[in-house]
Chains A and B, each alone.
Chain A
């Protein structure tokens, strides 16, 4: 078995050489056996690079209740600065995007409503008056969009807002549900991406078909959205009158190339091996095409979790997730190679003994990949870890 593992490691070596990684750093300044940090968020937007500053957001319970935090690190600094707290009451699922020149916008759920704030400086703006959660953000220059899941009758539905930036303050320009009709079942976990042509794409998980299906809708300018379509090309339904279909959840989007949008999600179409990561591409037609499996055959029999995708205008596209194919959870990535995803590569520092999971990531303007993950240790507490990679 050991020989086989060694052989597989040797075979995988060329793929590991695609990225050159920095030594991992710890982001959170407070850890402990009873402190539980989380990087969960809609579209997994937990890290952003603004100018030469990296910003990381998360939630933990160090104060006795769940609160959201932001830590930053400039390129010249050896370590992250001590984090600042973003929230006053129970806070969940924070996200962060870059505005440039070291400025960020963070958003989060607090006390059952969604909020956003420009950092540094800036005042917190409450974006919803009714119950809302699972907010995410996307920006192209000063054009900022937010999407969240908002209570509408018995269920939540997806709402998209355009935000206006004035100096360090945000204002809400428009807020609209993706669909005018009241939801017939639960919607949640929206993902947003702004393409190079200024169009807005929103994807979310949706239960209108009595099982969970990722849906997607586009708007040419954010003022009105097309009728939703399925992201999945796998049409499942009840079997011999049982159930309603297989599940697929937690879609994530990324702008990619000049006008493209890429999507990944967790998909249980092979229901005996847990969720797999699937992807689909919109090359600028505003329609997503054939679904593509992301994990390689070594990961096919394992459950994948916490998938996301990051892209850049130069056409770079990287999918990340965690799975336990080597015995314990590790963070994996795969580059899109034009026709298919490449070999799965374990992120050094986020692989090996112990539990490394829950990646969030971004590509910066220079093409460097910034990855943040959880490194769990039940005795010492969970560390939030960060590493940067450059292409060789």
Chain B
């Protein structure tokens, strides 16, 4: 049991050493997330953060601290955290191997946090930069899991509200 707890502690320490996902959420790395999404059929919620990012910290404390939002996203998405400055290797659905930092280039990320919704196959549905509220994330969830992205842009779905 002690050994088990030690391993959990080490894994947690390793995770916190790399980046800052919101605490208590079952975030996994990109490769594990893609595999889990294929197996489960759940869409992916990709949190593209940066080590030490103030707006990520603000979003974690202000928005992701909401227990109902935590349940909604933990139950219905595979949660993936990517560190925008990391050299950790990820394999894209195309089979290309790049680093987490290079994923930012491909996403044309200009600010963090950046939130990307992906199909279970890893295809991008929509990406949204910057701080967002609990209600924003509830709206994005309706857009994604409701399948509205197949017919409408996010702005059209939200009725022009950004």
Contacts and interface: CB of A to CB of B under 8 A. Distances in A.
A binds B: yes
Interface of A: 34, 36, 38, 40, 61, 66, 92, 133-134, 154-155, 185-186, 188-189, 205, 207, 209-212, 238-240, 242-247, 249-250, 268, 271-274, 303, 305-306, 324, 357
B53 A247 contact: yes
Contacts, number: 85
Given A155-B17, A188-B87, A303 B108 contact: yes
Interface of B: 13-14, 17-18, 50-58, 61, 84-85, 87, 89, 94-99, 101-102, 105, 108-112
Nearest to A64: B95
A239 B18 CA distance: 21
Contacts of B85: 205, 212, 247, 249
Given A133-B87, A271-B111, A243 B17 contact: no
B101 to A, nearest CB: 7
5 contacts: A36-B97, A66-B97, A134-B87, A240-B54, A324-B108
B56 A61 contact: no
Given A186-B17, A247-B84, A274 B111 contact: yes
Nearest to A209: B52
A209 B52 CA distance: 9
A40 B55 CA distance: 29
A186 B52 CA distance: 13
B108 A185 contact: no
Contacts of A303: 105, 108-110
A55 to B, nearest CB: 23
A238 B61 CA distance: 14
A243 B94 contact: no
B57 to A, nearest CB: 4
Contacts of B84: 247
Contacts of A245: 52
Nearest to B129: A272
B87 A243 contact: no
Contacts of B52: 209-212, 243-247
A66 B99 CA distance: 13
Contacts of B17: 154-155, 185-186
A239 B54 contact: yes
Given A36-B96, A154-B14, A189 B87 contact: yes
A134 B101 CA distance: 14
A243 B54 contact: yes
Given A40-B102, A155-B17, A271-B111, A243 B95 contact: no
